Every structure is written in structure tokens, then in C-alpha cells.
Structure 1
Amino acid sequence: CNDLSGIERIYAMRKKAVGLLGNAKGAAKPIPFAEDTCVPPEHLADYIVEFRALLDSHGLSYGMFGHVDAGVLHVRPALDMCDPQQEILMKAISDDVVALTAKYGGLLWGEHGKGFRAEYSPAFFGEQLFGELRKVKAAFDPDNRLNPGKICPPEGVDAPMLRVDATKRGTYDRQIPIAVRTSWRGAMECNGNGLCFNFDVKSPMCPSMKITSNRIHSPKGRATLVREWLRLLADRGVDPLKLEQELPEKRASLRSLIERTRNSWHANKGEYDFSHEVKEAMSGCLACKACSTQCPIKIDVPEFRSRFLQLYHTRYLRPMRDHLVATVESYAPLMARAPKTFNFFINQPLVRKLSEKHIGMVDLPLLSAPSLQRQLVGHRSANMTLEQLEALSPEQKANVVLVVQDPFTSYYDAQVVADFVRLAEKIGWQPVVLPFSPNGKAQHIKGFLSRFAKTAQKTSDFLNRVAQLGMPMVGVDPALVLCYRDEYKQTLGDKRGDFHVMLVHEWLPAALEQTDNREVSGEPWYLFGHCTEVTALPGAPAQWASIFARFGAKLESVSVGCCGMAGTYGHEVKNHANSLGIYELSWHQAMQRLPRNRCLATGYSCRSQVKRVEGNGVRHPLQALLEIIG
């Protein structure tokens, strides 16, 4: 194979294989305790037969792969390490694998993985060689500081070797009640594969890890911290599931306010609480959701991050900015009635200084002026009520597309929605802008989950009613549209209903069925992908390119990581430097080498970040299509 991209795909599959194996269903997970054995290749077939018979005799499932030409095997039997009996079984199987490998004249460590199997070192190396290794260790590490307990101790130092039956993570995990372990799957099932320790600036996972180089700001780090937090709660007799169940009925009271104020005061004075360490790691998460698809185990950090924040703030006060972010869908429509007035107010140096110092928000976005409502005055797309839509005949409904508003595009980037209305008309459809109904994503991100559940249910009821009309519903922002599919489903389950809101690139192919394709020519356009969209819908860039090609235009997908804005993350003072740093990693370089007027981005956050850093923004691809059609 001479195709570089094909070769890279094959290697990527190999790289992700171990992680994918760890995504097996059930409590038993493939554990790397018997892997990396190596026997002479001519004995490999017989060795595999006996190895499999050994595992089969215990009724275990397992993954087996390796390097046949070198006789190396990587075997991962599936065990539930929270089960004490299976932990004992691990030691028994380890002893049997050591004996089996010796029978075939093999090596216990073909490549790596000594670690907890160091107890076998003396027998594996033999008395003489083991003694020489101890001399080498003594020469370079006489105080036994480097990986103590692995391979061998220094000569003259009586230190124990690590053992297979030593205390392991399962010993701590089993202290967490089963119901809690099951419910907090995202944190509990991280198998430590470390694919999130990724410094490829063109990869979407994990932006906070890339910019900080700190492993607590990775999915693995956050999962580990939450797992320990759950264990500490169990140790203190606190049931997080019970606390979550009580929250919707629990009303805010003066007593709870006093308690949270007192706790926050003590925290500010330096009183230790492990929860603060977890909170620090969670605050650095951009909630981009790349981990929910890019991690082999599909660890969804934003999901358990929201749950943690909800419980954390039953004990500690929330900062004012959390309340402002969570209520944006309440006040944005009101401010949009007089956008110039509010923009003038927001732009005042004193207001911006107060916002930065006392609220912790910086570079607040300005409202669209003129507003969307003003831009669509007199237009039939904005004058139809739900009742009028329901009264349309089947023939009339066949040509209507319903525009689902989101708070950020409708009130802060209204031109995109107005241009979508014009685009739909250009291709022969009758667009109707639906009344604004809050999405709630900002509430979810900040951990206002009880409030989010109410918002999601109300909007689901509305959109389910609209769905009965049988007309396509389309939204222009990926993060908000995908929230209907993901967070709504997680929170509401079957109560969500079966409505479906499409993104523009999902709707256009069917809407353009009658359009003749043109020959592709001219200068290309460049699409910068939105993190949540390109990871949840990896085919989106190709679909956009196909749509552009239909009109004779070339669209190239630009390989970049996260833009660093991620909703309100980039507007928070404490994240400001990291936000700009993340943008610098890949977006800035690409923006400098490409013609700005040909660059496009589907995400509102992405366009906001470009405008903030570069001074002038980029357009949504639908706006470029509108220009191409003319």
C-alpha cells in the first residue's frame, strides 16, 4: 500500500484497538496483567493453544493479539476487579502463565509491562543475572528512588518487589456502592488507556490537556479525580444518587444559603476539601464533548462534570457568572429589543472593567444590530403562528422548512439566521422561523441540571408538537442542535419524544434534489470544523464539500483542533489566557496562511473567537452558498 492516508488509517486502528477492547460491556473489563509474553515463533502455535485452554478453563473472555513474527502475545482476560474473588483469580492465572511461558522457553516480558509482575523477576532472570542487575541498579539508583519495586532493588537494599496481588484500583473502587458505580459510568469505566494525553494540535481531544500539559486537565485525569471523590463520599456515608434525587424537590432556603456561605468562607480561608481539587479540574474543561466520541471508552466528561458541579454547589456558593450564563436565554431576547442601547452600555470601559473584576467575564459579545426580528419585519417567514402552520394543507406543507432558533445565533449573530431564510427561498423553499424556545445547554454546562431538565422538557414538548406537522426542522448551530440529540436524551430519556432537528448540511442534500450539478471550478473555500460537530458527525465536512460541489464550488476541510472559545469558556477571566493559547495552537496558523474571506466556520463560538483574535470574523458556510448562488 503506497497510500499514506490509508497507511495512517491502518496504524490509527491498531493504536485504538486496545482502548476499544476496554469498551466491552459489563463489569468485567480486559485487564493487561498477562500480556507481553514472548516465545520462540516455532512454538507459538502450541503455546497459544495451551494459553487459550488455561483461560477457557476459568470461563473467561479475553482479547488476544500481538506480533506473530516475533512470537509476542498481548493477552487481556476480562475480569471484574471490584470482585475480590476475581482479584484472587488474577494471581492464580499469572502464576500459571509464568509456568506456561517457562515451559516453552519463553520470556515473560517481550517488550514492556514489568510493573506489578516484578515479583517474578528473581526466577525470570536467574540468581546470577538478577544479582548483576541489582549491582547496576545500585550504581545508578542507590537510594531506590526510580520506580521502586520494579525489576529489582539496588544491591544491599532489602526492598520488596511489587506483587500481582498488591492493592490495586479495584480495591478502592469496590468501596463505592454498585448503584453509584453504575450511574457514574463515565468516571468509573476509564481504563487509563491515555489516548487523551494527546499533543497533536490538529486533533480535537483534549484542548485543556494540550494547553496546560497537566494530566488532571484530561479526560483520564478528571475521571480519576471523580472516582476518588465518589470513594470519599462513600467513606463518609454520603450517597450522591440520593442527593441528586432530592434536588428537584429541595427548595432554596435561608438556612442552606447560610451554610453555603459559611462553607465558601472557610474554603477561601484555605480549609481543605478534596472537592476543590475536583472542581479545579472540572473548571478547565471546555465541554467540547470530543472525548465522548474520540475516547475509545467514550468517556463523556461534560456529562459527569455537570453532575459534579450540581452537587458541589449544594455545599458551596456559585459565582455570579454562573447565574448570568445559565439565564442568558431569559435576558437575551429582552435585550435584543433594544440592541444598540445595550451594546452601548456593555461597551463602556467602566462596565467592562467591573465585569472583568467582579463577575469574572471578559470580551462580552455584542447583540446583533439590527436584531433578527428587525431584519425579518414584514417577511412571511416571521409572521406565521403555530396554529397557522397546523392549518396549512398537505400541499402547502410540502414546501415549508421550519427554522429552529438558538440563543447565540439568533441574538448575537442574527445575520446567519436571516441568510439561511434567504438561502432557503433561493432554492425554492418557504422558510418559517419558529418562535424562540430556550435550548438550555448553558444550564447543563454549568451544572444547573434540575433547571435544565425543566427547560429541556418544555422545549421538547414544543418541538414534538411542531414535529407532528411533518415539515423539516433545521437549526444553524451544531452545539445547540446536537444538544437536542445528546443532553436531552440523557436527561429526559423517553420523555424527550421523537422530534428531530437537522443541521443545515443534513437538510440541504434532500432540499437540493432538483438542482442540477455544476462543474467545479474557481478558488476554493476553506471549512474550519466545530469540535462537537466534527467528532459527533465526522462526515459533516465531506457533506458540506458535496453541497458546495453541486454549485460548482470547491470546499476544503482545514484540519484544526479546538478554537478555544467553547461557548462561554473563552469569556471567563480565569480561562482567558488558555482560550487564546488553544486558538494559537492551530486556528491562528491556519488563518494566517489562508485568505480570510474564503474561510468558513459552522460554530457560533468559533466565529466569535476568530473575530475576537483576528479583528474580523468568518462566515457560516450557508452564507458562502448564498453568495455562490447569487
Structure 2
Amino acid sequence: MREPSAQTEHMTDLVHELRRHVGGEVRFDRTSRILYATDASIYQIMPHGVVIPRDADDIAATLAVAREYGVPVLPRGAGTSLGGQTVGAAIVVDTSKYMHALLEVNAEEAICRAQPGLVIAQLNRALEPYGLMFGPDPASLDRATVGGVIGNNSTGAHSILYGMTADNIVAARALLADGTDATFAPVSLEEADTLAAHESLEGRIYRAMLAIAREYGADIERDFPRHWRRASGYNLDRLWRGVQNGRLNLAEVLVGSEGTLAFVTEATLKLVPRPKARALAVLQFDDFIHSLEAVIPLLETQPSAVELIDQYVVRLTREQAGYSRALDWVHGDPESVLLVEFFGEDEAELRAKLDKMEARMRAWGYHAPILKLLDPEAQARVWYVRKVGLGLLMSIKGDHKPIPFVEDVSVPPEHLAAFISRFRQIVRDNGTDAAFYAHASAGCLHCRPLINLKSAEGVRMMRRIAEQVVDLALEFGGAMSGEHGDGLARSEFNPRVFGPRLYQAMRELKAAWDPERLFNPGKVVDAPPMDQNLRYGPEYHAHVPPTVLSFDEFLGFDRAIEQCNGMGVCRNLHGGVMCPSYRATRDEKETTRARANILRAAISGRLPGGLASPEVFDVLDLCLECKACKSECPSSVDMAKLKYEFLHHYYQHHRRPLRDYLFGYIRTFYEMGAPFAPLVNALMRSPLAQVGQRWLGIDPSRRLPPLHRQTFRAWFAAHTPLPTAGTQGDVALYVDTFTNFNYPQQGQAVVKVLEAAGWRVHLAPDVCCGRPLISKGFLPAAKARAAALLDAFEPLLQQEMPIVGIEPSCLLTLRNEVCDFFPNDQRVRVLFEKSRLFDEFLHQNDVFSILDKRLRPLPKRIVVHVHCHQKAESDARWAVSALQHIPKAEVFLADVTCCGLAGSFGFEAHHAEISRHIAHLGLVQAARTADVVAVTGVSCRQQIEETSGKSPLHIAEILAGVLLVDE
């Protein structure tokens, strides 16, 4: 063994060689190693370093250097493995950033060629014009990569139709352990024998595979698990079947090998026709086991999928603001719900299938109502909840979590009810409970016992349950994994699952492909104990400083960070908002997951300096504080809030840039400048201002919005209300800094609409919410502002008067951060209940029953971009709905991520490029298709104006512009 100094020198030389030969990125810094030390599993192992290759040549160069220095290599895609497949003491090679091309589509043969970093959802979108798709559909398909599904032998809800990835691979191009570039595709036994005669590593692999098949064929025939839904061990069954059938495809052996045999650089995949029409039935059960017994009669009706959601998931969905509105299809509090899907040519065929299913279930004894859904949007809401089930389970607060270690056992469906009944008893005998969801049609329920791994007893409990479940799975003829693979969680048990003969065959298979143990050692065979290398274990301790914001809802600042389970939903590239900076860079460092990982390292002592570490600042720097993770992350990781608190602690040890004071105290500067608005505006447009901006680190091409000589409050003081004002009641208008000083016209429009609808408008007290201060981490100053606001608002809070806000980030600060500063103050609850966004107020008070007849037609295409905080903490649909009342208007919601300006973020020089890049991810294109661009936030307004050439209007300005009123 090398001495520490020799090891350091050894690694230094290795890094030097990698940087000489690899054209991509070579990252051996501590931060990168921390970010790649975990995946979606319960495990954590520091890698030696990370390589992000640009092409297969970079991978070959990495393998060559790794061989020379005796360091393993670990292929990685999205890092969403639940068994710990993608963590290890190795060079992690992440193909997801650059190697994501769809190389070829052959629609006639229904195949395609793709690089390993291509995300399955992106692949399927590219295949839409051909009417084709990739059949396996794991719940993580919006971030799972081609290489990942191959490594894991992934499947999903429709496995009873499409099988597993091994059933859908045609060929694989791979780099072998000696650097050979080999392609594995179907060959006859004669061709295999010819290949086996070569003295290359490829030849030795063919020789060994043929020898293993012939020597262990009888053992495979007799002892290999019969259930087809299996992602455990190596695919000896496919190897043996290929020899028996006279046609061998070693690509099928690579599938499910978890990157332990070779490095796949390109794959040829089978494609299937995209279903023309779908229907979905929802069946609710008050008895969980009874729902499992229903699976067999349901399968007799030939569905495309039968999925289960249990009571835990239903209840957690209801508790999550971002998901609860998607649960309108569940009634009451059922113990479980079955989702039964059918494919068909048209609606008539689907209705017939649903009727047949209902008749079979009535005959079986199911008497409850059956919800039948033919509308695609309604179906999408149901599937949305099912697909985020895992993340929702992990949102359970506290240290007891439903953890993955035996969650993936798969048994023949006819044994499912009996197996789960016994499984539940094992869990209860160990003094805990479990959550269940997933693929009932294939006998693969994801069963997650609730365990506290931070305690020694919790770790012992995990092992006891695992040992007992292995025996149970074997008793029912099942496999330890139906799709999540072995990794560090289940590889230890493969000798018991497969028996000594088959396990020996697997060890020989590994040795033939990887004689120097270069590829991802410790997975599938020769694994460490499953209760080692835990992310959380008895030795884990968090050091939590006093916080300014309350994290009581998470049971503490540390547990708020630990909400992140690594599922990587933040790596989604399409739909929703999360995570803007990742979408722009495709870099793991810019995910919410990475930010949670570095924060956890800081509070657990793995990162010197803790929350004062510049490394933490670097990883959190590109967080736009959009809050999308708060609602879109199934585990509700509120990274914006965590960043506010982090910045407060960080700047207790570091000097702040001067621009933070400018942006944090922007209201003070506006108050000083407003009386001299023309002069200030002229100065802001002058060359002198650009010099000042460069000095402050502000992008010189950006301009702060101009000040108005007449503020909104000054206008309101001279304003004469409309005759209709007051017939419906009174409302207090909360006027934000930007409406008052920069965009008074949008405030005037709000007043016009509200008065026309019969509301008398009063102004709420003129106290800043502190949003700019919060964003920059000036938390004590922001807390003082919040205290002043509560005191000033106290008389208003005692009245029966709603409070309406114009700027989402400011109004929602009243509902969130003010509450977080003073969680035990009764006034914040009243403030929360009374505060409404303009469009929320219109929706909740049925304002358009009065206004509809007074809106002039506007035959225009209106594209609406809603502020990110509004999407996260309110509902974007209300802004769209308000404009849909305008006759002849075509109103569309821009389904895009954040605008990219995000308050002061896009003004800062080092953020300017990525800010504009984010805008061009879809927002600019959407804006340019519009006749009118509608916004709800001032940042969105300015970013769209600067990047698209359009002149956006607040939704109130558009409504006021078509409103006929009697002055």
C-alpha cells in the first residue's frame, strides 16, 4: 500500500495525464467529488474524481489512464440509481452533459442509434414525428439516460407490453477493459465461434461466454429465477437462451450489468408504435390486500398497465401544495388505488375495453364506483402523481424515511397479495411500517420500510428486514430486483439468490469481461455488506447554527437540507420550471440536488469551513431562487429558503460586494432618487453609469427600470374613484417598490379593474416586504422590516378587508418569509389568509361575473409568462383564466422555465450570460409568437423586453385596456 504522500503524488500524476489526453472536463476538486459521492440511494462513497467526456475518444483516453494507474472507472448518466450503482471509489465518467445525441432513426425498421447521455424523454420527443417511442418507461424517464437504462435493465409501468430494456436492445457499441472498441449485435453460433478464435479481449469474451453457457446451462435451466421481471445478477438466462436458439447477442448481457463489464458508448434500440389512444380507469380500495388480489382478474382484461398507489402516497400528495391540485380524482381516504390503463385505436375501442374491465370486476366482486378517464389531460394528472410517488414518500419529515433496500422485490403477480401480506408482517414484527406503490401488473411493488438510519438500531433493523425478505422472495419464486438493480443494496445477497453454481458463473463472467476489475467494482458480484457506506449512519452528525428563518416545518435546518434524496427531478429538461441553471448548463453542479449535497457536506463536517466555505457559495451561486423546487421537487426541497439562510451565515465571515447593498436596499435608493427622476434616469443612461456598473460588477448592458416622477402613491392620492367603487366591498392594495417607482401604470390598471368590478381600493401601509434584502441574505435587516410591516398592518388585519398585491415576489413574501421570521406570531396567520395576488383575487371573488359584459374583444394571440414564485406558491392558471375572459383573445401559457433575470441575478456581470441563455431556452421564442405578451412580474417584464424585442404588459394592463367603464 502506498504511503499518503505517495498516494497524493500518484493521484496528481493521474490527473495530469487525464488533462493531457481528455478533451472534456476533468474535475478532481473536493467539490466535484462531494457532488458525485451520492445518487438516489442510501449510499455515499467519495469518488477519486470526475471526467465529463465530450465523445467516445475521451472515454477511451480515460480508460487508458485509469488502467495505467490502477484506478477503477464508473459510468454514470443521471445518477438516479436507487441501489447505489453509480457511487464508488472510482473515476466517475458522466456522459449526460455532452454525449446526448440521437445519431440515427430508421423508422422503417423501427430502430434508432443514440449516445448514452441522451435522456429517454428527449428521445421520445424526437421520435414523435415518426409515430414511434422507446417502450421501457421508468418513472424517471424525464432524466434517465440511455446508458442508465441499459446499465440498469430498466423498465416501467408498461413492462407487460414492452418488457425490459434487455428486450429492446439491438446492438451496443462499447469500450472494453483493454480499450478495444467493440460492437455487440446478434450473431450466429458459427460467427460467435469465429469471433472466439481471436486472441483479442473481445475474442476471449466470446470464448468465455460460450464456455459459461455450455458449462452452466443445466444450472441456468434449473435454478435461474423464473419470473421475467428481473434486474438482479447478470443475464445468464439470456446468454443460455441465445446459445440454445443458435443466435447470440452479447448486448443483452451488457444490459443490467451496471457498468461492471464495459463502457457503452452507443446503443441501437428497438422502437414501438406510439399508442393512438389511451384510457385510464381508477379503482379505489378500502383494503390494501384486496386491491392486490384484484390484479389477476384485471390482467385478464389485457390492460397496458396496472399501477398501485397506497395510502401514504395519497396523503402526502394532499399535503404538498404543488401536487394536491393534481389529486382531484381520489375521493375519501382509500387504503390503495389501482390505475388500469388501456391502449386502443380510437375512443370506441377504449370504451369497449373499459366496459369489459368493469364487467369482469363486478363479477369478481368489486362494487365501488370506477372512474373512467378518456381525456388526456385528466389522465396526465393521474400519471403525474404516480410518477412522483417515490419522491413524495421521501418528503416525509423527520429521520424515519421510507428507504430503498428491499423495495424492488418482484414476484409472479398471482403471488403478489400473499407476498405483500407476509412482507408487511415482517416489517411490523420489526416495529415499523412500510409504504407501497408501483407496478402491480408485473408483480413488482416498491415496498419501503420506514427506518431511521441515523441510529445503530435502525441500521440493524434494515439488515434484519433485508435478510428476511431475501428468504421470502426466494420462497415465492421472485427476484430481489424487478427494475432497480443490485448496486450496493442487493449485490451482497446474490450468492443466496442464485446459489453457489450460478454465482460462480457470474464471477467468471465478470472476470472474462473485466480481468483487471476496471469497471465499477463491488456491484453484482464481490460486493461489500449492504449496511456499509451509508449516507446516513450512526456516525452521521449535523452541526446546525442558529437560524434567522424558521425551519420548523422541516424539523430543523439540517432536515430541510436532508429532504433531498437524490432522485434528481431537478435534472428535468422539459416542462415546469426546475431547475433553470441546470437546463442552461446540463451540469450536475447546477442542480438542486448538488446544492443540497454541498450543504449537507458543510453541516456534517465533511467540508472544512462549514457554511462559511467558498465551495458552498460556488455551488449555490447559480441558484436563481426561483422556488420551483419548493413545488416541483416531490420532496419539497426549498433551496431558495436554504440559500437565503446560507448567505446570511456566509457573509458573517466574508466581505459582501457593494452591489449587494445596492440591490438589497433598492427601495432606499429609489426613495432618494424619485424626486429627481428625470436627472436620475439620464444618469442611468450615461456612459458614467456604465463605468459605475462595471466597477460594481453589474452587467453594463443592463439598465435598471426608469423612475417615474409621479409615483403610483402620488397618483392614487389625486385619483377619483369610479362610481362603481364600493358596491362589492373594500380591498387594501399592497403596493410594491417596483409598481410604485418604476411601473405605476400597472398599479393604475389594477385599481381600474377592481373599481370597475365594484371594489373600493384603499392603500395598505407603505412598508417594504424586504424581498430584495431576503434574496441577498440580509436576514436580520429583512426581519426588522417584517416586524415593522406586521406592526403597521395590525389595524388592517383586524378588519374584514382582503389584501391584494401586484408583484408576486412581494405579495408572496407576506405569505411566506414574513411567516418564517415570526412563525408563532398570530398576526402572520391572518396575514397569510388575507393576502391575495391580483389574479387570485379575481378568481376567488368571481369578479368576471360583473366584468364579462364590459370587456371589448381583442382578437390577438396572448402569451402569458407567469412569475416563478407565483407558479411555486400560487397557481399560474388564474392569470391565464383572467385573460381568457377577453372576447376573441387566444390565450396561451408559456410552458417554459424562469425568465432568467430573477431579481438582481441577471444584472450581475458574472450571471449575465447564463441569464440570457435561460431566457432563450423557450421564453424568447414563445414571446415572439405572441401579438401581446402578458406578465405578472417585473423581472419577467424587463427580461422579455430586452431579449425578445417585445413590450410585455401586466395582465391588469391588458384587462384595463379592453375594459369599458363609465368614468
TM-score in terms of structure 1 length: 0.84
1:565 aligned to which of 901, 911, 935: 901
C-alpha separation between the residues in 1 aligned to 2:539 and 2:838? 44
Q: What's the counterpart of residue 540 of structure 2?
A: 174
Q: What is the letter of the counterpart of residue 379 of structure 1?
A: A
Q: Which moved more, 1:306-315 or 1:361-370?
A: 361-370
Change (3 A) 1:488 1:377: closer
Asked if residue 216 in structure 1 is aligned to residue 546 in structure 2, the reply is: no
C-alpha separation between the residues in 2 aligned to 1:192 and 1:374? 48
Q: What is the letter of the counterpart of residue 941 of structure 2?
A: R
Q: What's the counterpart of residue 692 of structure 2?
A: 354
Q: What's the counterpart of residue 468 of structure 2?
A: 96
Deviation at 1:224, TM superposition (A): 1.2
Residue aligned with 1:336, SS: helix
Deviation at 1:441, TM superposition (A): 0.8
Residue aligned with 2:761, SS: strand
Q: What's the counterpart of residue 952 of structure 2?
A: 618
Deviation at 1:401, TM superposition (A): 3.2
Residue aligned with 1:196, SS: helix
Deviation at 1:504, TM superposition (A): 1.0
Deviation at 1:111, TM superposition (A): 1.6
Deviation at 1:524, TM superposition (A): 4.5
1:533 aligned to which of 870, 877, 888: 870
Residue by residue over 1:207-263, the C-alpha shift from the partner in whole angstroms, topping out at 9 and shown as x without a partner, is: 122112122322211111111100118998x8x8xxxxxxxxxxxxxxxxxxxxxxx
Alignment of structure 1 residues 12-51 onto 2, 5 Å? 12-51=384-423
Deviation at 1:514, TM superposition (A): 6.3
Q: What is the letter of the counterpart of residue 182 of structure 1?
A: G
Alignment of structure 1 residues 178-197 onto 2, 5 Å? 182-197=556-571
Residue by residue over 1:256-304, the C-alpha shift from the partner in whole angstroms, topping out at 9 and shown as x without a partner, is: xxxxxxxxxxxxxxxxx8x111101211111111111111111111111
Deviation at 1:82, TM superposition (A): 0.7
C-alpha separation between the residues in 2 aligned to 1:129 and 1:502? 65
Change (3 A) 1:572 1:143: farther
C-alpha separation between the residues in 1 aligned to 2:432 and 2:408? 18
Identity rate of aligned residues, in percent?
28
Checking the alignment, whether the CA contact within 8 Å between 1:551 and 1:628 is kept in structure 2 is no
More strand by share: 2
1:588 aligned to which of 924, 948, 963: 924
Asked if residue 288 in structure 1 is aligned to residue 626 in structure 2, the reply is: yes
Deviation at 1:516, TM superposition (A): 6.0
Q: What's the counterpart of residue 792 of structure 2?
A: 462
Deviation at 1:542, TM superposition (A): 3.7
Asked if residue 607 in structure 1 is aligned to residue 926 in structure 2, the reply is: no
Residue aligned with 2:480, SS: coil
Change (3 A) 1:42 1:506: closer
Q: What's the counterpart of residue 444 of structure 1?
A: 774
Deviation at 1:28, TM superposition (A): 0.5
Deviation at 1:536, TM superposition (A): 1.5
Q: What's the counterpart of residue 756 of structure 2?
A: 426
C-alpha separation between the residues in 2 aligned to 1:315 and 1:179? 14
Q: Which moved more, 1:340-349 or 1:419-428?
A: 419-428
Deviation at 1:174, TM superposition (A): 2.7
Asked if residue 129 in structure 1 is aligned to residue 467 in structure 2, the reply is: no
Change (3 A) 1:571 1:39: same
Alignment of structure 1 residues 510-549 onto 2, 5 Å? 510=845, 512=847, 515=850, 517-518=852-853, 522-538=859-875, 540-542=876-878, 544-546=880-882, 548-549=884-885
Change (3 A) 1:414 1:420: same
Q: What is the letter of the counterpart of residue 592 of structure 1?
A: R
Q: What is the letter of the counterpart of residue 515 of structure 1?
A: I
Q: What is the letter of the counterpart of residue 555 of structure 1?
A: V
Checking the alignment, whether the CA contact within 8 Å between 2:437 and 2:445 is kept in structure 1 is yes
Residue aligned with 1:37, SS: coil
Q: What's the counterpart of residue 40 of structure 2?
A: none
Change (3 A) 1:549 1:83: same
Q: Which moved more, 1:425-434 or 1:90-99?
A: 425-434
1:477 aligned to which of 799, 804, 807: 807
Asked if residue 105 in structure 1 is aligned to residue 477 in structure 2, the reply is: yes
Change (3 A) 1:612 1:521: closer
Q: Which moved more, 1:476-485 or 1:499-508?
A: 499-508
Q: What is the letter of the counterpart of residue 332 of structure 1?
A: Y
Residue by residue over 1:390-436, the C-alpha shift from the partner in whole angstroms, topping out at 9 and shown as x without a partner, is: xxxxx979744332111122222222112223333434444344453
Residue by residue over 1:362-390, the C-alpha shift from the partner in whole angstroms, topping out at 9 and shown as x without a partner, is: 413132334325971762479xxxxxxxx
1:312 aligned to which of 625, 632, 650: 650
C-alpha separation between the residues in 2 aligned to 1:276 and 1:564? 24
Residue aligned with 2:804, SS: strand
Q: What's the counterpart of residue 412 of structure 1?
A: 742
Deviation at 1:327, TM superposition (A): 1.0
Q: Which moved more, 1:541-550 or 1:53-62?
A: 541-550
Q: What is the letter of the counterpart of residue 734 of structure 2?
A: V
Residue by residue over 1:35-85, the C-alpha shift from the partner in whole angstroms, topping out at 9 and shown as x without a partner, is: 111223333232222211111111211112342332223110000111111
Q: What's the counterpart of residue 179 of structure 2?
A: none
For these two proteins, the number of residue pairs brought into alignment is 572
C-alpha separation between the residues in 1 aligned to 2:688 and 2:435? 63
Q: What's the counterpart of residue 261 of structure 1?
A: none
Q: What's the counterpart of residue 344 of structure 1?
A: 682
Return 5+ residue gaps in structure 2 as ranges.
1-278, 280-373, 547-554
C-alpha separation between the residues in 1 aligned to 2:527 and 2:801? 68
More helix by share: 1
Residue by residue over 1:131-188, the C-alpha shift from the partner in whole angstroms, topping out at 9 and shown as x without a partner, is: 3333443344333233221012xxxxxxx51321112011277322589873333202
Change (3 A) 1:615 1:592: closer
Q: What's the counterpart of residue 257 of structure 1?
A: none
Q: Which moved more, 1:570-579 or 1:356-365?
A: 356-365
Report the RMSD for the aligned CA atoms in angstroms: 2.8
Checking the alignment, whether the CA contact within 8 Å between 2:928 and 2:948 is kept in structure 1 is no
Checking the alignment, whether the CA contact within 8 Å between 2:809 and 2:870 is kept in structure 1 is yes
Checking the alignment, whether the CA contact within 8 Å between 1:549 and 1:555 is kept in structure 2 is no
Checking the alignment, whether the CA contact within 8 Å between 1:372 and 1:417 is kept in structure 2 is no
Residue aligned with 1:369, SS: coil
C-alpha separation between the residues in 1 aligned to 2:772 and 2:918? 21
Q: Which moved more, 1:434-443 or 1:179-188?
A: 179-188
Residue aligned with 1:560, SS: coil
Residue aligned with 1:443, SS: helix
Change (3 A) 1:34 1:178: farther
Asked if residue 87 in structure 1 is aligned to residue 459 in structure 2, the reply is: yes
C-alpha separation between the residues in 2 aligned to 1:226 and 1:427? 49
Residue aligned with 2:655, SS: coil
C-alpha separation between the residues in 2 aligned to 1:477 and 1:173? 46
Residue aligned with 2:379, SS: helix
TM-score in terms of structure 2 length: 0.56
Q: What is the letter of the counterpart of residue 132 of structure 1?
A: A
Residue aligned with 2:471, SS: helix
Change (3 A) 1:504 1:381: farther
Q: What's the counterpart of residue 819 of structure 2?
A: 489
Change (3 A) 1:103 1:398: closer
Residue aligned with 1:493, SS: coil
Q: Which moved more, 1:42-51 or 1:32-41?
A: 42-51
Q: What's the counterpart of residue 627 of structure 1?
A: 961
Change (3 A) 1:71 1:469: closer
Deviation at 1:340, TM superposition (A): 1.5
Residue aligned with 2:922, SS: helix
Q: Which moved more, 1:74-83 or 1:115-124?
A: 115-124
Alignment of structure 1 residues 137-156 onto 2, 5 Å? 137-152=510-525
C-alpha separation between the residues in 2 aligned to 1:377 and 1:6? 45
C-alpha separation between the residues in 2 aligned to 1:186 and 1:354? 39
